[in-house]
Amino acid sequence: MAKSKIVEKSVEELTYEEALAELEQIVAALEGDASQNPLEEALKLFERGQALVTRCSALLEAAQLKVEKLAGDTVLPFEEESE
Amino acid sequence: MLTFILKPCILPKMPQPSLFSLPHLTVSQLTFRIRKLLEGDPELQDVWVDGELSNVSRPASGHIYFTLKDKNASLRAIMWKTDAARLRLSLQDGMAVEAHGRIAVYEPQGQYQIIANLVQPRGEGALYQEFLRLKAMLEAEGLFDAGRKREIPQLPRKIGIVTSGTGAALRDMLNTLRRRLPLVKVVLAPAPVQGVEAPPALVAALASINRQEPDVILLARGGGSMEDLWAFNDERVVRAVAASQAPVICGVGHETDFTLCDFAADLRAPTPTAAAELATQITVLDLAGYLENMRARISSLTSDLIADQKLTVTALASRLRYVSPARRIETEQQHLDELARRSLSAFVHRNQLQAIHVRGIAHRLESLNPLAVLKRGYAVVTKKKDATVISKVRQVNAGEAIQVRVSDGTFDAEIVNPQS
């Protein structure tokens, strides 16, 4: 299941949600049929998983609240008045 | 002022003293009478007075002293500490209020005053009646039913905010969201939150924010008087909250303020900050914890996998050893040793049997030895000439030489007088 997604996109291009979803798939794959996974494949999954964890952590660290403002139905960036 | 200032030159007409002297009262008696008059009037003991606040002072005693006034008159007022503690607004000079209390007379000063037990912004009483009427009506329509409430998503990606674009409420909410879940995207639909233009603006803001399809909407406003919060009791706004596609968390005013929007919303928050907290039940810390858990799981899964593989390899190695030629040679060797051991013991056994057998035969041989009987007194007699054994009388003749064998040797003899 996770196999098809692997190596499709480099980890650095993934959004937080994408990275987390793939990470969950990898864990499920590793948990599910561990014995059926060829060891080499499992190790690849593991490395990919590690990379995804790093990516997610980095995104969490760096996350900045994005605020937009509506003017009617037009979306504008919102500048907070600084104190 | 009981002292007359007499200025005879200016006042030509002196009051004529009565022919009969009137009863005199002391100041205390008069004041007491006035007090009885005022404090005995039930209407003055349970009265609402509208006026403007001035000379508000709050000494260390905790009581509040102020004056209520309007264009033409003023009224001294006191609020005792216990009632003052329950005040929802802080009294300021110039504030238009309505006060409830009883009229009392302070005899030492000859002053009447109102002992107020409640002071609220003017019009609040009427507003409250209107609030109750609307609440009952909308409640009867089922607008506030618990069954209408929707789940608030635990981890929203997009949060809509409807509030004033400039107030502290917005700043508090954005700070809370930034602290708890900076991953979230915020869309703000600013709208005035008080005044006549507020209700239609809030309705329009709710509609346009819904078109952005947020996961949840925060409808918020900072604290204020009941009149300030009134837009959130406006029927149009309440209906718009109930009709919102996205679930609404309403955080208007302070903990103690309830608006009809609170009842119509899917979730009521005591303050704007609390609304932002309720919208982010899962925080960035929780996510980091979850991630750490995932990391630990794939780590342990992988090391389990490797341990499994090691076990398999170990098992195969031992099976391999079992089928290896070396092992077979060992087995054969052992088999040989076994055979050798068994053959040796068989050999020994047979020898022993043989020995027993031989001893038996020797014994039997012994018993068959004819010479054995000689020990018991028998003798063997043979002819001297040819050594034939003599067992019958007719075999011998008188005078014939014979040999007699006894147990320990032989001697010769001669046949005398044979008879049969």
**A15 to chain B: closest CA residue:** B183
Neighbours of B238 (CB within 10 A): 26
Phi, psi at residue B410, to the nearest 5°? -125, 160
- Cβ distance of B298 and A50 shorter than 8 Å: yes
Give the CA distances from residue B350 to residues B54, B356, B360, in Å, rounded to whole numbers and listed in that order. Answer: 138, 10, 15
Query: Which helix (H) or strand (E) element contains residue B203?
Result: helix B198-211
In the block, residue with structure tokens 């067992």: B391
Tell me, what's the pLDDT at A83? 44
Q: What distance in Å separates the CA atoms of residue B48 and residue B274, rounded to the nearest whole number? A: 36
> Nearest Cβ partner of B294 from A23, A37, A42?
A23
Amino acid at B275: A
Distance CA B63, CA B69 (A): 19
Tell me, what amino acid is at B116? Answer: A
Calculate how close chain A gets to B76, using CA atoms only, in Å: 42
**What whole-number distance in Å separates Cα of residue B151 and Cα of residue A15?**
26
Q: What is the mean pLDDT of chain B?
A: 87
Nearest to A68 among B165, B188, B306 (CB): B188
Q: Measuring CA to CA, how many Å separate B275 from each of A2, B210, B266, B271?
A: 38, 18, 11, 6
B311 inside 8 A of chain A by CB: no
**What is the 8-class DSSP label of residue B170?**
H
Residue A27: pLDDT over 90: no
- Of B238 and B322, which is predicted with more confidence? B238
The secondary structure of B26-75 as a DSSP string is -HHHHHHHHHHHHHT-GGGGSEEEEEEEEEEE--TTS-EEEEEE-SS-EE
Buried b (16+ CB within 10 A) or exposed e, B293-302: ebbebbeebb
Of the residues B305, B308, B312, B313, the best mutation for testing chain A's interface (the one with the most A CB atoms within 10 Å of its CB) is B305
- pLDDT tens column, A28-38: 887 776 556 67
> Strands B47-57 and B64-69: what pairing?
antiparallel
Nearest-angstrom CA–CA distance, B411 and B384: 10
| Closest CA of chain B from A75, distance in Å | 8
- State whether A53 and B298 contact (CB < 8 Å): yes
Q: How many CB atoms lie within 10 A of CB B308?
A: 14
Number of Cβ within 10 Å of residue B228's Cβ equals 19
Tens-digit pLDDT profile for residues B347-377: 778 778 777 877 777 777 666 666 677 777 8
Flag whether the pTM goes above 0.90: no
pLDDT score of A35: 59
CA distance B117 to chain A (A): 40
CA distance A32 to A45: 13
DSSP string, B257-282: ---HHHHHSSEE-SSHHHHHHHH-SS
Closest residue to A42, CB basis, from B287, B295, B302: B302
ipTM metric: 0.70
Output the average pLDDT for chain A.
77
Mutate to test the interface with B, among A65, A66, A80 (most CBs of B within 10 A): A65
Tokens of residue B289, six digits: 């914890």
Q: Are B120 and B98 in contact (CB under 8 A)?
A: yes
Looking at the predicted structure, is the pLDDT value of residue B143 above 90?
yes
**B294 touching A (Cβ < 8 Å):** yes
Q: How far A43 CA lies from chain B's nearest CA (Å)?
A: 7
- pLDDT of B221 strictly over 70: yes
Region label for B267, one of left (φ > 0), alpha (ψ between -120 and 50) or beta (otherwise): beta
Q: Are residues B298 and A24, on separate chains, in Cβ contact within 8 Å?
A: no
Residues B208 and A70: beta-carbon distance below 8 Å: yes
To test the contact with chain A by mutation, choose from B217, B294, B311 the residue with the greatest count of A C-beta atoms within 10 A, namely B294
Closest residue in chain A to residue B306, using alpha carbons only: A39
Q: Inter-chain contact A50–B306, Cβ cutoff 8 Å? A: no
Residues in chain A with CB shorter than 8 Å from the CB of B177 are 65
All residues of chain A having their beta carbon less than 8 Å from the beta carbon of residue B189 are 69-70
